[in-house]
Structure 1
Amino acid sequence: MVGPGEVDSDLEPEVKDECNTKYGDVIKVIIHELPTAPDDESIRIFVEFKRIESAIKGKN
């Protein structure tokens, strides 16, 4: 999705819109950048859905 140093203010609404469209209503999106983690694990994106079914759909 994005790599280290590429997190910007547009990422959160983009993730929220995409998840809303594909999986269901999103309550919030949290993005963490871990500077000491390997590049492929340095960006963590957490999405809270309104319904458990949406979260299950998003996981698969």
Structure 2
Amino acid sequence: MSGDDAQQHIYKTHGLLLNPIMCGVCGWQFYTLGIYNAHQWMQYGERPHAFRCHAQYL
């Protein structure tokens, strides 16, 4: 199981990421992928996307 697969398992099973994701612009840390995606959209002006298929939404 790769690191990404392990993070996905933890997120699906437990709802939180084991290691927080840090924003490269402001340094804030996020423990859920959804909140990080929404924050990234605000920081970079990019729509959130699915990590596996890269489909954009919203």
* TM-score scaled by length of structure 1: 0.28
Q: Which has the higher contact order (CA 8 A, sep 6+)?
A: 1
* TM-score scaled by length of structure 2: 0.29
Greater fraction strand: 1
Greater Rg, structure 1 or structure 2?
1
